[in-house]
A = this chain, B = another copy of it.
């Protein structure tokens, strides 16, 4: 089973060549839902930013907000809750006054760092080409 395959059994005779995935499918047991789910999280506006920001050290809420320019209180809260729920970050409340809440990556959260960094690096490397391509595409339609 491959990416995007929802596991629906092939009921009708299919003349379409099945060679599409052969030899190239690297996610045999992959559940498309899992990939979409994770990608929708990593691909949202703030999650990856939070993760790489926590890569160096644990931080409290206000520090996190200072380190991530542009994030609103609401979105930072929502993002952190999602990440906590997914088991990617921990939330530690210190019983003090005023309250101090610290966020840190979990072990699982840290393992996400490498593949997402690879993608981030790809983005940085190829962004010039992408921008050129966009410019050319748009020019050819003017």
Contacts and interface: CB of A to CB of B under 8 A. Distances in A.
Interface of A: 2-6, 8, 16-17, 19-27, 29-32, 34-40, 42-45, 48-49, 52-53, 55-57, 59, 63, 66-70, 84-87, 108, 111-112, 114-124, 126-127, 129-130, 132-134, 137-138
Contact of A45 (B31, B36, B38): B36
A123 B67 contact: no
Given A19-B57, A35-B48, A119-B42, A85 B126 contact: no
Number of copies: 2
A14 B37 CA distance: 38
Contact of A119 (B25, B119, B133, B134): B119
A66 B16 contact: yes
A37 B29 CA distance: 29
